[in-house]
Amino acid sequence: MKWTAFLLLCAILASGVNCKAVEDIAVETNDHKNPDLIDYTDASPDDFTLEKLTVEKNLTRAEIYETVETESHAPNQTARIVGGTSASTGDFPYFALVASLKPDGSTTSICGGAILSEIWILTAATCVSGNTGTIVFPGLVAEPSETDTRKTVANVYIPSTFRYNFKLNNIALLRLSSALTLSGSISPIKISKNTASLDNVSVRTMGLGATSESTSIGTALLYADIKQLTRSYCDTLMLEAYYQYPVNTACLETSSGKKNICYVDVGGPVVYTYPGESSATLVGINSEIVSCTSVYPSAYTKVQPYVSWITSITKKSFQ
């Protein structure tokens, strides 16, 4: 293995892949412990781009995915919006809580989601991938109770290009088993048609829960206005974390760890009211974080690049 190429790879973050994971793969390859692994002996940094590793080279879960699980993406965390403000009923009627279930009925993950219509919810693929059942709680401003509206999910749709560990194409559509009854507290949001850059402006996101990494699930829907960073500046900040967020994502600053999404805010709406528009539209779905109170930016999946995919599944336009 040409370790010069490997070190250069880690330095420029060409792939967004955890460098330790790539090193492990390289060691196995050179020792001939696994003949099925790809030989990177003569590889260049360009061969390690995220898309090439996950799509063109078609690496399996055993080769890449399971080796890069880190504490940064630990499951079943319960803290949420950090540095947020409490919302009132009707403030964000398009917000939904998405709970995925194990075969025994216990909860395996809790996320946010955006209501697109009476039967369609948009969330992150990481929230529902591999789960056996999903329940949606629409219009919540507090922790769900036995009397709150809940809907089961009939179908889950995830892009074929989704890659779990890299959060690549981290978006999913949920089709409810029965229609929501729309009201002042439960109503859809439109997907933004505007493609203008949001760099260095504040977008709004929300989640139902607690305010730090150490606390349990909270009782109030919280929202926060967070500045979107330029991609070049985001990549520079992430250099210290040896990670790069994938394509079709945008980065949100954390105000030195004082304002951020947290683990189960993933899947929640990111919205913005463009100049000249009367209401907010959906620009993204929260995708991943380094940790709740990290100084490193969080990332959201931009919805605009997936409009054609959404339309092909739903046969509807939500713009």
Query: What average pLDDT does range 201-218 have in this prediction?
Result: 68
Would you say domain 96-188+307-314 falls under CATH 2.40.10.10? yes
- pLDDT score of 194: 93
Instruction: Say what the pTM is.
Output: 0.73
Greatest mean pLDDT among 43-57, 266-280, 291-305 lies in 266-280
pLDDT at 218: 57
Maximum mean pLDDT: which of 14-23, 67-76, 153-162, 256-265: 153-162
Q: What is the pLDDT of residues 238-250, one digit of tens each?
A: 888 888 999 999 9
Q: What confidence score (pLDDT) does residue 303 get?
A: 97
Query: What pLDDT score was predicted for residue 233?
Result: 93
Listing DSSP states for the chain in one string gives --HHHHHHHHHHTSS---HHHHHHHHHHHHTTS-TTSPP-TT--GGGG-HHIIIIIS---TTTTGGGG--GGG-SS--B--BS-EE--TTSSTTEEEEEEE-TTS-EEEEEEEEE-SSSEEEE-HHHHTT-SEEEEEET-SBS--TTS--EEEEEEE--TT-BTTTTBT--EEEEESS-----SSS---PBP------TTSEEEEEEESBSSTTS---SBEEEEEEEEEPHHHHHHHHGGGT----TTEEEE--TTTTSB--GGGTT-EEEE--TT-SS-EEEEEEEE-S-TT-SSPEEEEESGGGHHHHHHHHS----
Domain parsing of the chain, residue ranges: 3-70, 96-188+307-314, 202-303
Please give the share of the chain, as a percent, with pLDDT higher than 90.
45
- The 10s digit of each residue's pLDDT in 55-109 is 444 444 334 333 333 333 333 333 345 667 888 889 999 999 998 887 777 777 7
Mean pLDDT value of segment 138-155: 87
pLDDT tens, 250-280?
999 876 445 556 655 889 999 999 999 999 9
pLDDT at residue 255, as a whole number? 61
Q: pLDDT at position 91, please?
A: 93
Q: How confident is the model at residue 224 (pLDDT cuts 50, 70, 90)?
A: confident
Question: Is 96-188+307-314's fold the same as 202-303's?
Answer: yes
Q: At the top level of CATH, which class does the domain 202-303 belong to?
A: mainly beta
